[in-house]
Structure 1
């Protein structure tokens, strides 16, 4: 089995790469995915994330280690294991990030990654259904729609935030992210538009694109300091797959560093502990892990919410019929509808917290919604200072790595999450939402609004990931960088990384859109270097 290019991982970036690299018909491209095809119908129904997360046929079902920042709790870390990767099981939310995020990457020495460089790639990727604007694309494969599900409680929250003095934004994906409004989502005609739907579906019949599912990469193959292929377990049989030009890792912020390490690329001392021969001593592999931690204030309400609308089989049947007939209703709903990108301190020059407003509430998705009507005002810190690590549990890709997020490890992170929770509570003092709230369920009346210690401890007891792991193969030139500005692994020929792991700093918001952009940019650089 020999191809020009091997892409390992059919996630948000990998699908974009597979489409672009195979488009001219001249290169033989293999896309290896450890999971299966995206045949599960719940993948394509927007609300299906309740069924696909935690399902071992579509989710790697990783678990982080006990974390001191979470008062010793160990939390699940879902990641997609199917064509489309996490874009097939995520909440469908489309957020590019702030222009300053990318300008910062460039200021770190990563030439070509500034906002003016990446904006054309965001535009190229998307088909924006909203109003035409200079910053938006109309001809791309990824369908991005405006919110089409109207919920009174979400509208009331947005209006109340405006009454509190925050500005309204019609497009947080333009030059200025700040404000409150409604989420944009990767959806088309009431169905999920994953990276697989956007990029693989139109390319499937190309004779030079070989999509190989149930292909779990086990280790990279080398000839001296050149990567020449990968050993993969394909349908239960280990096989060697060779690349004539390049191997591109798009296995995500967990899979890519793990595969590098088991193949001998990482901190020499850590590899030696597992008996792994060192191909290149790169101490930054698996370091610099960043994630968004969400705290979830919940408020009981007199307004109708999903909690009560699905509390018996007849109501659920009615919702299913509405979706079957018109691709609308609660089943066509992204995980969050309202959003806000706000400053925890007015003195800041740009937003540092984000809200996800959800017309339902639950202690955890697996337990189902509460028995009472309520909404959730989830809040997170956009650019946490705390960084974690990913390390090997063994020398085998078939053993999950050790994930240590290290949440809330700095004073800034603690102060910011507390302030975000305080803002969530204070917004409920404004109309029209004030009249719709009957009780604050969480944190609850026993924790005062000025009780910063109590609020922080509640966050440590209850906060969870919002599924944005990044940074574990960071781009740069310093001694902890793993790839250069063209995503080539330092010290190794023929090997690149293109996924969320290359982010030197996490972007300000949900990460699916930036990762697709990374796949688009990587394809350009690969084709330029091959010319």
Structure 2
């Protein structure tokens, strides 16, 4: 006999954890949270610098993109979380929200209720900010948001180098204005990662009405007479939902499961022998992501955290963290960055920087044997659109992920401009005493064709995928503005896949906001 709950949440990522924590606040509401991965018990999930291990396999599905046809067939590692907390458990903990105009443009596209003033209260509601308590920030929320506890002197030199190019210092890039270089705030509390799991689920597991199952991979969403009724797990277990099925598996996982359930482009599903439940061509379309480029410099001395790569130094760093909650273990390694312009006429910053306080931090990125730093840049408003499709009807098979990077010529031009700007910053006088030489791209890369060739070899995902279950008020949209699935009752999608356009920054804080806003809408709709 099938088990029953009021709400089944598929995916224990950022938005799914928020839903579980908020919906279970009502003791009369039975909530089941299903996570295909495991619990976040490994210490790397909680130590800020554990991020360096995450893109190298820990807590990840190990997926890749298809060959990128506009980047000489390059295949990218595409880290997708497989652990409680999702992206918030394995990311660099950078707390940014995008630009206010991102959300106002959503509203202008027909997404009523999603303008900046509509979503700002939900950002504030989630926060327990250790520094700010004002119009833009809140205290007392579930998620810790903190100032970095382990910056290095080279960070201040970076700020001065940017200033030499006319880029100002900004003390709060999630406040009144986004423009400028900054220390990012981080999703941390007391120098420990504050993931969505730790903020919204773990403290509430004692609630009798909240059930968590890890290692629970969903085979399909069950639909009867146009209504979502529950889920079937890969082991054949069937579970029913009396109120709603809430899909929160992310911009890759959500369209993947919908298609496995027979909900998606009919021609694609037919080719794979999957019975069609609903022909919805936009499921898995509209994939957007930020392509990350990087300038790497070798340093003149031990000015970055690379010096802690040796075992005895790593042990020293661990001891420093235990005693002081400072040092390299307390660092997200990317807490310094900012926002500026590739196109001086852009309506808001269109380039984001991340200063990596070492080299080889992420999988596939070069290591400087004598130590270095990495200044990443990404173009924030790409026009290229990709897809998520199935390789097989077998749920054990990885999906076909195609970000379609640099399909649009403007994306290519703006990305190259951003990379050149990172080189300019790293070449300024305030950094001269730290920098021995630029190693990548290096002096041999001069023409735009040479820059393009370099990018095809040296680039990566920013881990900011979005858009594959697009929200809108038009008939083609996958979900409506209350995130209800168009064409199937009692099914909602609640994660970054609903974004019509990817926001102009890291995306995790937005996933938390989406979960908070969705929880309110779900409760309102249940009351009628």
Match of 1:153 in 2: 154
Does the 8 Å contact 1:307/1:371 carry over to 2?
no
Q: TM-score, normalised by structure 1?
A: 0.96
Match of 1:7 in 2: 9
2:298 to 297, 300, 317: 300
Match of 2:87 in 1: 86
> Helix, strand or coil for the counterpart of 1:377?
strand
Sort the Cα spacing of 1:320 and 1:346 in 2 relative to 1 into closer, same or farther, 3 A: same
Match of 1:503 in 2: 499
Does the 8 Å contact 1:417/1:456 carry over to 2?
no
> Helix, strand or coil for the counterpart of 2:370?
coil
Does the 8 Å contact 2:55/2:362 carry over to 1?
no
1:382 to 380, 383, 403: 380
| Structure 2 CA distance for aligned equivalents of residues 197 and 105 of structure 1 | 30
Does the 8 Å contact 1:6/1:243 carry over to 2?
yes
1:352 to 346, 350, 353: 350
1:434-458 per-residue CA deviation (whole Å, 9 max, x = no partner) reads 332221100011112xx22211221
Match of 1:512 in 2: 508
Does the 8 Å contact 1:283/1:479 carry over to 2?
no
1:244 Cα offset (Å): 0.2
**Structure 1 alignment gaps of length 5 or more:** none
Match of 1:522 in 2: 518
Is 2:18 aligned against 1:16? yes
Q: Show the 5 A alignment for 1:229-268.
A: 229-233=230-234, 237-268=235-266
Decide which moves more: 273-282 or 379-388. 273-282
- Give the count of matched residue pairs: 525
Q: Show the 5 A alignment for 1:116-135.
A: 116-135=117-136
1:369 Cα offset (Å): 4.0
Q: Show the 5 A alignment for 1:455-474.
A: 455-474=451-470
Match of 1:289 in 2: 287
Sort the Cα spacing of 1:308 and 1:23 in 2 relative to 1 into closer, same or farther, 3 A: closer
> Helix, strand or coil for the counterpart of 1:467?
coil
1:364 Cα offset (Å): 4.8
1:481 Cα offset (Å): 1.6
| Structure 1 CA distance for aligned equivalents of residues 399 and 44 of structure 2 | 28
1:345 Cα offset (Å): 2.6
Sort the Cα spacing of 1:492 and 1:310 in 2 relative to 1 into closer, same or farther, 3 A: same
Is 2:322 aligned against 1:324? yes
1:31 Cα offset (Å): 0.3
| Structure 2 CA distance for aligned equivalents of residues 252 and 110 of structure 1 | 20
1:398 Cα offset (Å): 1.6
1:47 to 22, 46, 49: 49
> Helix, strand or coil for the counterpart of 2:237?
strand
Q: Show the 5 A alignment for 1:182-221.
A: 182-221=183-222
1:116 Cα offset (Å): 0.5
| Structure 2 CA distance for aligned equivalents of residues 369 and 192 of structure 1 | 25
Match of 1:424 in 2: 422
1:445 to 443, 446, 458: 443
| Structure 2 CA distance for aligned equivalents of residues 366 and 433 of structure 1 | 26
| Structure 2 CA distance for aligned equivalents of residues 289 and 479 of structure 1 | 19
Decide which moves more: 117-126 or 347-356. 347-356
> Helix, strand or coil for the counterpart of 1:432?
helix
| Structure 2 CA distance for aligned equivalents of residues 255 and 351 of structure 1 | 30
Sort the Cα spacing of 1:415 and 1:390 in 2 relative to 1 into closer, same or farther, 3 A: same
| Structure 2 CA distance for aligned equivalents of residues 40 and 147 of structure 1 | 22
Sort the Cα spacing of 1:367 and 1:352 in 2 relative to 1 into closer, same or farther, 3 A: closer
1:90 Cα offset (Å): 0.7
1:372 to 362, 366, 370: 370
Match of 1:408 in 2: 406
| Structure 2 CA distance for aligned equivalents of residues 479 and 91 of structure 1 | 37
> Helix, strand or coil for the counterpart of 2:439?
strand
Does the 8 Å contact 1:153/1:303 carry over to 2?
no
> Helix, strand or coil for the counterpart of 2:95?
coil
> Helix, strand or coil for the counterpart of 1:315?
helix
1:428 Cα offset (Å): 2.9
1:230 Cα offset (Å): 0.3
Decide which moves more: 502-511 or 455-464. 455-464
Does the 8 Å contact 2:13/2:84 carry over to 1?
yes
**Structure 2 alignment gaps of length 5 or more:** none
Does the 8 Å contact 2:288/2:501 carry over to 1?
yes
Is 2:395 aligned against 1:394? no
Give the superposed CA RMSD. Answer: 1.5
Does the 8 Å contact 2:152/2:304 carry over to 1?
no
Does the 8 Å contact 2:45/2:90 carry over to 1?
yes
Does the 8 Å contact 2:132/2:138 carry over to 1?
no
